[in-house]
A and B are shown apart, each in its own frame.
Chain A
């Protein structure tokens, strides 16, 4: 009931900023929505605030899994290249 007890919705702003450094398109899209959450919440538009928080979360998650997929693909290609150089084209 007091202002100390008042709970604010998670904005996903920090995660969005971090994602912007890793995968800019996904991070910036998340940041775009995350930046709207607090002002709308303060303005009393709870449903819009929740809607944009959900969208920010979705883009952070999509970005994270895309990043993991890209890293996995890169490691796989690296391993294939290494094996190809070692087995198919041995130097000596």
Chain B
């Protein structure tokens, strides 16, 4: 565990020596690493001693990916409303659904939720309106 590791920054640049603890913040699974007992440079993920610190990185990534959780955008429902039920109300729903993620990415979470709510409302209005209009059209056509 007292090994000193060197890492490859790019094709020509090498940095080190570092201890395992220091490597924790510097490497990814693909980073090329070498120490005196290794015959060649190897990816960090292939070195058994480094697997423990790489696992910590992966756990952190999993945790942070759970933090990115935008509201449901209703984009598929809006598209289905557009194609199957009501073109106009479906298009409005698509308009709001498309804004949900952009607002979330800009950090405007309340606005994002508002757009999601509007998209949902237009989907819920669009489906019955589409069914009613189609029923009326079919009745007129066959009467």
Contact = CB atoms under 8 A, between A and B. Distances in A.
A28 B76 CA distance: 8
B80 A25 contact: yes
B83 A32 contact: no
Interface in B99-115: 101, 105
B26 interface: no
Tell me whether chain A's interface is mostly helix, strand or loop, or mixed: helix
A61 B8 CA distance: 39
Interface residues of B, number: 23
Interface residues of A, number: 21
B30 A5 contact: yes
B89 to A, nearest CB: 15
Tell me whether chain B's interface is mostly helix, strand or loop, or mixed: helix
Contacts of B21: none
Interface stretch (A9-17, A46-54, A73-81): A46-54
Contacts of A48: 68, 105
B75 A2 contact: no
Given A1-B8, A1-B11, A1-B31, A26 B76 contact: yes
A44 B95 CA distance: 27
Closest 7 CB pairs of A and B: A25-B79, A29-B76, A47-B65, A47-B68, A25-B80, A29-B75, A25-B83
Given A2-B10, A26-B76, A32-B75, 11 more contacts: A1-B8, A1-B9, A1-B10, A2-B11, A24-B79, A25-B76, A26-B79, A45-B105, A50-B65, A51-B65, A59-B76
